[in-house]
Structure 1
Amino acid sequence: MRILVVGAGATGGAFGTLLQEAGRDVTYLVRPRKQEVLRRDGLRFISPTADRTHPVQTVTAADKPEPFDLILVTVKATALDGVLGEIGAFVGPDTAIIPILNGMAHVDRLEQLYPGQVLGGLARIVATLDGDAVRQQVPLTSLTVGGLNGRTVPADVADALDVPGVDSSVVSDVTGALWEKWAFIAAAGIINCLFRAPVGRIIDAGGEARILDAISETEAVAAAAGHPVSGAGHAQAVGLLTEPGSAFTSSLYRDLSAGLPSEAEHILGDLARRARDLNVPTPLLDLTLIQIRASLPL
């Protein structure tokens, strides 16, 4: 199976390396500058157990296209528009597409473009770019996939993703899993971005009740959409976001604090729109969006 990994950032570089090390045929779709770096230096992946650099296959949107069997979309939502305009040349009638992004808007857009070819994907990994190297900070590396709209995951796709170093699983309700993760990261974004501090400092300032309110808001939207968060998912969210002394901050908050392009509209804006359509009140979410939008450069 020929696999195209769209993006060679933290997520794409980590999963692409592990797939390549298992003998999978992996190619990266990247920008020309990134292609030059990868051709010259290879892709370096630093995990908690190893530091290695591999030569990799790359293509750019300008290269002669040919269809791939499986496409993993691993970019952030801020790069999605550009990607949607580029991957079409690499999609054949039998290509399976798995987007690994937060939220749900990307699933809807891809499904409109490639009906019946999109699968749900959910990754759990803590990794970042350190220069041009991918650095994984904790050992957790999991990939969950599932069919959408009653479809199933093809056996060859499931087999291709089942490699050492990745806790790979196929689930029957991937949409529910995506909503559960979305509810958590949205709650975390609300908490950190509204109060502009890590979890521990917010609790010290008397904010635990507001943290619980934020969790309730996002989970209420998920429930109204028909995808209630599981008891285990709720307990995990409360545990992570109310831990005394915790230095936890969301990636959304870190991007905004650093002045980087953020997924605020993809994660929070889209959730707020769906909440309005579902008549679910989300006062903390709405306040957070006002604060983020008002602070952006004109």
Structure 2
Amino acid sequence: MRILVVGAGATGGYFGGRLAQAGRDVTFLVREARAATLAERGLRIKAPGGETRLTPRTIKTTTETYDVVLVAVKSHALDSVLATLAGAIGEHTVIVPLLNGMRHVEALTSAFGRGHVWGGLCMIHGTLDEHGDVVQMTGLSRLAFGPLDDGPDPRLAAVTETLTGAGFDARASRHIVAEMWEKWVLLATLGAATTLMRGSIGAINTAPGGPEFLRALADEVIAVATAAGHPPRPQARDVLTATITSTEPTTSSMYRDLIAGLPVEADAIVGDLVTEAGRHAVPVPLLTAAYTALAVYTSSRPA
């Protein structure tokens, strides 16, 4: 199957690179500046187990169709790629978005139809370094995907074969929407906490009132998801509890972007949950404070 990876940052670069390394037919749809970097340096993945260098196939626009499209851009870049993607979507194309939150599902289904859009999520601690190389900071690298209605799909077997066995943990899910919400709960709690307090989870937990703050924030986020009809399952709650009680220097990608002065996914990760809370009359003072702080940061960034 032909795979188009939209974006070659930490997420797209890692998963697309591993798929290409495993012999899959992979093309990256990237902006001009990223294409120039990849042409000069190649796609380099610096992982705990060593460094890999690939020579990726890159394009800036496309009129050719693909079997699988992995969308791996930040939420604030999605609108700019929707028009570019139109030529890549054929009759049987499956779009697997690896974005945070849930707003992208509506945007993609509105643009291409629900029959093309699946759910997807990934877990990886990754970033780009000053050279534009992908840095995998820990051994975590997971990918899950599946139809949004959790039902059967004749394309599932072929897509599963294509996306698995490439050096990372990949699997098809029959409960992908539930898993996406559970990831959102985790990311929103972690992102809101670290950006509002300007520190790691470990630092927050060793500060006066830190553990109480983290527990109260997590309770707010869980309450919103539950009111929206997507309560986290016991295993997801256990992961969340382990994360917010850790004394390790755990941060969020949103915190790392903020510290670096980069755009942050404030609306998709935190703001949309505040809006959802309003729909269900769920009080979220801590989550709202975090969103306000992120909005102040965003408005103060140079245009």
TM-score normalised by structure 1 residue count: 0.94
Which residue is equivalent to 1:187?
Answer: 189
**1:78-97 map, 5 Å:** 78-97=76-95
Cα distance in 2 between the residues matched to 1:292 and 1:22:
39
**1:159-198 map, 5 Å:** 159-198=161-200
C-alpha displacement of 1:242: 1.7
C-alpha displacement of 1:217: 0.8
Equivalent position amino acid for 2:234 in 1: G
Structure 2: 5+ residue stretches without partners: none
Which residue is equivalent to 1:220?
Answer: 223
**1:1-298 map, 5 Å:** 1-61=1-61, 65-115=63-113, 116-130=115-129, 131-153=131-153, 154=155, 155-203=157-205, 204-244=207-247, 246-295=248-297, 296-297=299-300
The 4+ residue runs of structure 1 with deviation greater than 6 A are none
Kindly indicate whether the alpha-carbon contact (under 8 Å) linking 2:150 and 2:175 is maintained by their aligned counterparts in 1.
Answer: no
Kindly indicate whether the alpha-carbon contact (under 8 Å) linking 1:44 and 1:53 is maintained by their aligned counterparts in 2.
Answer: yes
Kindly indicate whether the alpha-carbon contact (under 8 Å) linking 1:18 and 1:163 is maintained by their aligned counterparts in 2.
Answer: no
- Aligned to 1:85, the other structure's residue is in SS state helix
Kindly indicate whether the alpha-carbon contact (under 8 Å) linking 1:146 and 1:152 is maintained by their aligned counterparts in 2.
Answer: no
C-alpha displacement of 1:70: 0.7
Cα distance in 2 between the residues matched to 1:202 and 1:140:
23
What count of residue pairs does the alignment treat as equivalent? 295
* Backbone CA RMSD of aligned residues: 1.6
Cα distance in 1 between the residues matched to 2:148 and 2:275:
22
Kindly indicate whether the alpha-carbon contact (under 8 Å) linking 1:122 and 1:178 is maintained by their aligned counterparts in 2.
Answer: yes
- Aligned to 1:65, the other structure's residue is in SS state coil
Task: Give CA-to-partner distance per residue, 1:29-82, whole Å, 9 cap, x none.
Answer: 011222233233321112222312111111112xx5111111000111121111
Cα distance in 1 between the residues matched to 2:76 and 2:54:
28
Task: Give CA-to-partner distance per residue, 1:254-288, whole Å, 9 cap, x none.
Answer: 21222110001111111111111122211111111
Cα distance in 1 between the residues matched to 2:291 and 2:128:
27
Moved more, 34-43 or 183-192: 34-43
- Aligned to 1:86, the other structure's residue is in SS state helix
Equivalent position amino acid for 1:221 in 2: V
Cα distance in 2 between the residues matched to 1:46 and 1:98:
25
Structure 1: 5+ residue stretches without partners: none
> Percentage identity across aligned positions?
40
Q: 1:294 to 1:37 in 2, by over 3 A?
A: closer
Equivalent position amino acid for 1:44 in 2: R
C-alpha displacement of 1:2: 0.6
Moved more, 138-147 or 37-46: 37-46
- Aligned to 1:232, the other structure's residue is in SS state helix
C-alpha displacement of 1:229: 0.6
C-alpha displacement of 1:194: 2.2
Task: Give CA-to-partner distance per residue, 1:202-250, whole Å, 9 cap, x none.
Answer: 2222221121111111111111111111112112112111223x31222
Kindly indicate whether the alpha-carbon contact (under 8 Å) linking 1:6 and 1:30 is maintained by their aligned counterparts in 2.
Answer: yes
TM-score normalised by structure 2 residue count: 0.93
C-alpha displacement of 1:200: 2.5
